Copies of this chain bind each other. A is one copy, B any other.
Amino acid sequence: MAKDRKIDLVILGLLFHEDLTGYDIKKRIDGAISFFWKGSFGSIYPALSEMEKSGLVKKRRAVDSGRREKILYHITDEGINALKEWLNVEQAANDLKYETMLKLYFGGAEEKGIALKNICYFEEQVKKDLAILQVYQKNLEKVLDKKDHIYYYLTVTFGIDTYEAYLKWCGRAKKYLEAC
């Protein structure tokens, strides 16, 4: 497996539960996962091809008579081992890029009003995303007894907790800036 290509692990993690097409994988990533990891078709399809060559996944052609060709991928034992190995490694890269904070840090190059505006833009985006996460949370609360849903739930609460902290900070930051 490619050394630093985390998309491989995302794919293996998703395939651990069920066989999926590349398109399905993209849809899953665009759901709750997108709050802490992203992926595009341009990275998913090549990754699937390479992982098939190295034996981590295998193809299962579902012809669905009449439908367009659709390739279901299935995780192999080797793939499961790779997934488990990764879970057992301590190292985890949490790589955060906040362009909003960059703009705020350099806010002194413009008037105070510009910095305030940028905080407001951020606040609006966070509110929208938080609303989405809260819907995920409600849906997950109904099925918490099911295997694995506890893990999905915890990542969603992580998002909610941090987004709520963002909003509190926005309120304080705006007051602080306005007052000075």
Q: Which residues from chain A sit less than 8 Å from chain B, CB to CB?
A: 6, 9-10, 13, 16-17, 32-33, 35-38, 80, 83-84, 86-88, 90, 92-110, 114-115, 117-118, 121-122, 125, 147-148, 150-152, 154-155, 157-158, 161-162, 164-166, 168-169, 172-173, 176-177, 180
Contacts and interface: CB of A to CB of B under 8 A. Distances in A.
The number of times this chain is found in the oligomer is: 2
A115 B174 CA distance: 38
A130 to B, nearest CB: 13
Most chain B beta carbons < 10 A, residue from A6, A88, A154: A154
Contacts of A100: 92, 94
Nearest to A93: B99
A172 B148 contact: no
B158 A102 contact: no
A161 B151 CA distance: 24
Given A92-B99, A102-B9, A107 B151 contact: yes
Given A121-B90, A164-B165, A157 B172 contact: yes
Given A102-B36, A158-B173, A169-B161, A180 B150 contact: yes
A68 to B, nearest CB: 30
